[in-house]
Structure 1
Amino acid sequence: MHSNVPAWDELLGSARESAVHLEMRDSYAVDYEKGPFADWRGGFRHHPNDRDSWWRPWLDLIARTVARGVRVRRARIVSEPVSEYTRFLYDNTFTNIAAGEEVRWLPRRQASALALPGNDFWLIDGRLVRWNHFTGDGGSAGGEISEDPDAAKLCAQAFEAVWDRAVPHESYEIR
């Protein structure tokens, strides 16, 4: 394990073939009073045709990564009925797809027999793991980098098992 976690542009910039991300939490800490989640809770919805209103630097990074030929995939394991935060993610996933990500959803009940790592992660080229650590209330507790081949193998196998069972975003019906 390394404590020196590279910035996202460096991490994704190092990808040559693949970058996969597994999300397993039903909520992540957000400001309920202001910001995108609060706006969404108040009824605001981005319109896919108004790209200038929702495009952001993260999406530029994903688009550049995909343009280099890197396949970027995101899988989300979600409890059903979904949390309010998961509905928010679902409503805004079109932005990830517009940037070139592939996104799938797996109901948690269908993940019961899968061996999954204890934390959300990014896996770069099947060799470099960026663990995403969270506090109990969903706040970021920082990232961690691992080049441990066993950890990378676990993450690769877990991601592919989830991916194989998961439903593509355009076919997933939120419950």
Structure 2
Amino acid sequence: MPQTAPPFAELLANCQRSAVHLEMRDFYDDPDEAPRVAAWKAGHRPDPNDRASWWRPWLDMVAETVVRGVVIRRARIVSEPVSEYTRYLYDGTFTNVAAGEQIRWLPRRNASDLSLPGNDFWVFDDQLVRFGYFSGDGAYLGDEVDDRPAVAKLCSSAFEAVWERAIPHDRYKI
């Protein structure tokens, strides 16, 4: 049964084998991210040689999780031509990859025949799903977790179908 999600750090800390994330929106309006987006719009790009300036604490949490042997994969379904926000994400994705995430991109037109849940999600160890809810203009509305086996199977299968078709970050060009 769906229930309020515990803090994300707790979900990742309890993960033993895999964490997969499917993103399906072309824009997320995250107030915490707004200063980084504004800096990017002004021309700032993350410096590959200055890891201390990269997004914290997320990248530290990813690196610590990967060191424990958990595989973290993220797939992004994107409209093309991509939105300005997707360009921002793309320009910073190398930091996620450096922290240990595997990331792929799937042009939306290549997802038309896939059955996908209606919301972005994370699946932890193929057992627990965390759905994220957003308004039409991208504002975060909350999340919930669901541990029903059929829901976990649906989301895991959807993620794998996207992953199989998606283009690895180092080969995807916008």
- Shorter-chain TM range is over 0.9
Is 1:68 the equivalent of 2:68?
A: yes
Q: Residue 30 of structure 1: CA displacement?
A: 4.2
Identity among equivalent pairs (%): 62
Q: Which residue of 2 aligns with 1:12?
A: 12
Residue identity in the other structure for 1:4: T
1:116-166 residue CA offsets vs partner (Å, 9 max, x unmatched): 000000000101000000011101010100001111111011000000000
Q: Which residue of 1 aligns with 2:110?
A: 110
Structure 2 CA distance for partners of 1:30 and 1:130, relative to 1, 3 Å:
closer
2:4 alignment partner, SS class: coil
Q: Which residue of 2 aligns with 1:56?
A: 56
Q: Please, which runs of 5 or more residues in structure 2 have no aligned partner? A: none
Q: Residue 55 of structure 1: CA displacement?
A: 4.3
| 2:129 and 2:145 in contact (8 A); partners too | yes
Matches within 5 A, 1:72-87: 72-87=72-87
Superposition TM-score, scaled by structure 1 size: 0.95
Q: Which residue of 1 aligns with 2:27?
A: 27
Deviates more, 1:42-51 or 1:107-116: 42-51
| 2:24 and 2:77 in contact (8 A); partners too | yes
Residue identity in the other structure for 1:91: D
| 1:30 and 1:37 in contact (8 A); partners too | no
Residue identity in the other structure for 1:66: V
Name the count of aligned residue pairs. Answer: 172
Deviates more, 1:92-101 or 1:52-61: 52-61
1:19-64 residue CA offsets vs partner (Å, 9 max, x unmatched): 0000000001145xx6000110111111111111114111111111
Q: Distance in 1 between matches of 2:38 and 2:121?
A: 26
Q: Which residue of 2 aligns with 1:93?
A: 93
Q: CA RMSD in A?
A: 1.1
Is 1:127 the equivalent of 2:149?
A: no
Q: Which residue of 2 aligns with 1:46?
A: 46
1:43 alignment partner, SS class: coil
Q: Residue 170 of structure 1: CA displacement?
A: 0.2
Q: Distance in 1 between matches of 2:76 and 2:56?
A: 21
Q: Distance in 1 between matches of 2:170 and 2:118?
A: 28
1:22 alignment partner, SS class: strand
Q: Distance in 1 between matches of 2:55 and 2:114?
A: 35
| 1:104 and 1:166 in contact (8 A); partners too | yes
Q: Distance in 2 between matches of 1:157 and 1:126?
A: 10
Superposition TM-score, scaled by structure 2 size: 0.96
1:144 alignment partner, SS class: strand
Q: Distance in 2 between matches of 1:30 and 1:156?
A: 26
Q: Distance in 2 between matches of 1:65 and 1:54?
A: 17
